[in-house]
C-alpha cells in the first residue's frame, strides 16, 4: 500500500470514527438503496485498487449519493426502519 492510499484510508477512518457520528444524519445512498455508506464503499475501493484508481469510482458514488439525497428530500420520509437488513422508509402523518 503506497503512502497516498494509507493517508486516504486514515482520513476515511477518522471521518467514520470522529466526524460522521456527530453530523446528525445518515448517508443518503445508504438510506435510499441499502448496502454500505459512501465512506465505507469508497474506503473499500481505495484499499482494493489504490487511491488514484479509486478517484473516479469515488466521484461516481458521491454523485449517486447526491441524487439519492435529492430523491429523499422530495418525499415525506421521516425515518428508516431496517427490517432484516432492508431499509424501509416511513413517515408519520399529522392530523
Alpha carbon distance 70, 88 (integer Å): 17
**Burial class, 74, CB count within 10 angstroms (exposed 0-12 / middle 13-18 / buried 19+):** exposed
Residue 77 scores a pLDDT above 60: no
- What pLDDT was estimated at residue 58? 97
C-alpha cell at 85: 437488513
Give pTM, 2 decimals.
0.76
- Strand boundaries in 8-85, DSSP class E: 79-83
Per-residue pLDDT reduced to its tens digit, 1-46: 899 999 999 999 999 999 998 888 889 999 889 999 999 999 999 9
> Quick one: average pLDDT of 45-70?
96
Amino acid at each position: 500500500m503506497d503512502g497516498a492510499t494509507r493517508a486516504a484510508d486514515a482520513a476515511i477512518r477518522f471521518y467514520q470514527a470522529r466526524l460522521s457520528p456527530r453530523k446528525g444524519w445518515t448517508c443518503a445512498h445508504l438510506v435510499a438503496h441499502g448496502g454500505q455508506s459512501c465512506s465505507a464503499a469508497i474506503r473499500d475501493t481505495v484499499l482494493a485498487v489504490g487511491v488514484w484508481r479509486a478517484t473516479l469510482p469515488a466521484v461516481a458514488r458521491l454523485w449517486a449519493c447526491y441524487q439519492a439525497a435529492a430523491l429523499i428530500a422530495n418525499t415525506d420520509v421521516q425515518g428508516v426502519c431496517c427490517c432484516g437488513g432492508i431499509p424501509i422508509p416511513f413517515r408519520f402523518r399529522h392530523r
